[in-house]
Amino acid sequence: MAEYTCYDLIKGKKVAGLLLEAEAIRLSPKEPFTWASGWKSPIYCDNRVSLSYPRIRTEIKLLLVEAIKSRYPQVEAIAGVATAGIPQGALVAEEMGLPFIYVRSKSKGHGLINQIEGKVIKEQKVVVIEDLVSTGGSSLAAVTALQNAAIKVLGMASIFTYGFPLAERNFADSDVSLVYLSEYSLLLQEALSQKIISNSTLDALSTWRADPSSWG
């Protein structure tokens, strides 16, 4: 049965703190961000920013490795999801001494017309790395591309997820497991403890995840 779970709640709060420290995550409930989908959001997450901070990227890398070894001990290779999952996946693969491949959102229109870049080995046991999971659509599309190439996907690991009920359903329907380092509720707890947000704004921030399409 597919799991959708946090690797470690205490470490999850630590990761949330690291992302806030790097300003990879920003909270702005009074002046919300607008996503490409048109949704209004009190949070903006770009975990690529964490790559600019050696200490933070190293801590995140080591926790991803820890989570993968714990949940997917049979892993034989790491796959990154283009584009933000590529550097994170490459760091993890290097740390684990494993082969690395990555998955484009669609096949190239020239050359070998590849969607998967790197050495593809049929039946190889792969863990997919994603920096951020929102609805899960693009992440699961990468999994499908790997499965279509006869690669055995053990599951996925991500740095952060918003924890939308829709995402959890999508992963369950696809029978794909996800282990993540941190998520929205843990982020709010950490932001409150750091006084980045106040109790008066916590409720507004909490209601966003339940119905993001109509929030704001």
The single residue listed with the structure tokens 């993540």 is 180
State the greatest distance between any 2 C-alpha atoms of the chain, in Å, as a whole number: 56
Calpha distance 115→192 (Å, rounded): 42
pLDDT mean values, one per 10 residues, the chain (216 residues): 94 98 93 87 95 98 98 98 96 98 75 79 97 94 95 98 94 97 97 92 86 81
Calpha distance 114→38 (Å, rounded): 31
Q: What is the pLDDT of residue 111?
A: 45
Q: What is the pLDDT of residue 180?
A: 98
CB 160 within 8 A of CB 182: yes
Calpha distance 122→116 (Å, rounded): 12
Calpha distance 9→90 (Å, rounded): 25
Q: What is the pLDDT of residue 108?
A: 53
Whole-structure pTM value: 0.94
Q: What is the pLDDT of residue 185?
A: 95
CB 81 within 8 A of CB 138: yes
